[in-house]
């Protein structure tokens, strides 16, 4: 069952019905259900896409008790109300609840699956992300990501979409997938608002938004592959290239001075980023994340910041410096062993007894370059069965270590 007959909700319902799955599309009002049933297409949001004969259309919340999967194709700001209604409608205790939203839940900017987890538990909650423009999804396919902390649910949900003919990745990082979608929408709006000022500025705006979001997502346990994969980078590229992108178009209208309250009517649909960005800015501030670009974008949406000042923030913001890790060094005992125990000892493959904790701290390292004086050989410790390799700075020393000479450069 798909609740929400916007463009993406309709596309998902059509896709699943075509795949032979018993599917119902639920609308917001009985009047909308009657219209869609009569037209057998969604002329408002997905014109020209005929409904499969097997697709049922009905008003919201009727027949929820028979659903095995409930896919919420509603804006994130409406999820709380819709979920309460679904529960009152007799939702089965075994039914999975799947968020299709790419936004945050007010008032504090909570990811939708965090709300659903509190209501239904981890075994029943999932989300879907990835590049999936509605019209192309039903005509050519998409690159979806089905995410749940419950492996069986992620696998089953991915299987549902694959059966319907769409590539779908499995993920166990729903927070990362959701926040990647949030950042994508915000970045698309930010780049749209900045594009007329230059492509470098537009790219910087999108990059800052993703970086600021990631510093928050990381504290929630999200993983970077969710952001750099289909749900983040893939979805952003699809949105940036799509001429019909609602969020990018909303940014362009903001740049032309159109008030945010007038933009949905101009675009013809709800623009989730207009409500998501202020919530994201609030969540970042609450988490103590320095996010000047996201905060400034929220002010631009609210009409509190002129466009030229928004662009100035984008162009002058310097991200936090990298978190440099100090070089790992072996103690003097390990350095001595590398010199005399390795090449000349009875068992040169044995590791020396550790008089410090240095050796144990290197167990997970691929290699560590030891600090040395200019006259010393450069040594590389390779923690593979305790093996120590000595790379000499001249051919003679390397021959003594049992390796082939280093070829000299021809003069």
Residue 9: phi and psi, rounded to 5, are -60, -45
- Please give the backbone phi and psi of residue 128, each rounded to the nearest 5 degrees, phi first: -130, 130
Distance in angstroms (rounded) separating the CA atoms of residues 171 and 229: 11
Q: How far apart are the first and last CA of the chain?
A: 75
Helix and strand numbers, DSSP H then E, in the chain: 19, 13
Query: Is the Cβ–Cβ distance between 301 and 307 less than 8 Å?
Result: no
Dist. CA 22–CA 247, nearest whole Å: 32
The strand pair at 388-391 and 378-381 is best described as antiparallel
Q: Is 184 a catalytic residue?
A: yes
Strands 46-50, 2-3: pairing is unpaired
* H or E segment and range at residue 283: helix 272-286
Catalytic residue, candidates 93, 102, 123, 184: 184
Alpha-carbon distance of 89 to 83, in angstroms, equals: 10
Nearest to 401 by CA among 335, 334, 343: 343
Residues assigned a catalytic role: 184
């Amino acid at each position: 069952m798909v609740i929400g007959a916007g463009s993406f909700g309709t596309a998902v319902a059509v896709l699943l019905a075509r795949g032979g799955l018993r599917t119902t599309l639920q609308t917001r009002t009985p009047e909308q259900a009657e219209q869609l049933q009569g037209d057998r297409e969604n002329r408002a949001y997905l014109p020209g896409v005929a409904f499969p004969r097997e697709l049922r259309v009905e008003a919201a919340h009727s027949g929820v008790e028979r659903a095995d999967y409930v896919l919420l194709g509603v804006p994130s700001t409406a999820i709380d109300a819709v979920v309460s209604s679904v529960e009152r409608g007799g939702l089965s205790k075994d039914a999975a609840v799947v968020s299709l939203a790419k936004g945050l839940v007010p008032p504090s900017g909570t990811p939708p699956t965090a709300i659903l987890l509190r209501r239904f538990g981890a075994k029943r909650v999932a989300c879907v992300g990835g590049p999936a423009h509605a019209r192309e999804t039903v005509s050519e396919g998409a690159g979806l990501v089905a995410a749940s902390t419950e492996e069986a649910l992620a696998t089953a949900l991915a299987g549902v979409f694959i059966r319907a003919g769409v590539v779908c990745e499995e993920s166990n990082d729903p927070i990362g997938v959701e926040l990647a979608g949030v950042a994508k929408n915000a970045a698309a709006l930010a780049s749209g608002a900045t594009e007329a000022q230059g492509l470098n500025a537009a790219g910087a705006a999108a990059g800052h938004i993703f970086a600021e979001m990631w510093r928050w997502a990381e504290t929630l346990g999200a993983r970077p592959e969710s952001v750099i994969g289909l749900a983040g980078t893939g979805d952003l590229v699809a949105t940036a290239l799509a001429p019909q992108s609602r969020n990018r178009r909303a940014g362009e209208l903001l740049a032309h001075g159109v008030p945010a309250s007038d933009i949905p009517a101009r675009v013809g649909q709800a623009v989730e980023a207009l409500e998501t960005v202020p919530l994201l800015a609030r969540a970042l501030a609450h988490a103590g994340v320095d996010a000047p670009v996201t905060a400034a974008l929220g002010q631009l949406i609210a009409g509190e910041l002129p466009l030229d000042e928004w662009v100035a923030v984008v162009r002058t913001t310097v991200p936090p410096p990298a978190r440099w890790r100090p070089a790992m060094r072996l103690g003097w005992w390990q350095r001595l062993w590398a010199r005399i125990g390795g090449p000349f000892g009875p068992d040169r493959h044995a590791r020396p007894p550790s008089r410090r904790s240095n050796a144990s701290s290197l167990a997970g390292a691929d290699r560590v370059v030891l600090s040395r004086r200019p006259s010393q050989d450069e040594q590389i410790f390779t923690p593979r069965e305790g093996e120590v390799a000595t790379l000499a700075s001249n051919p003679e020393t390397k021959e003594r270590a049992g390796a082939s000479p280093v070829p000299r450069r021809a003069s």
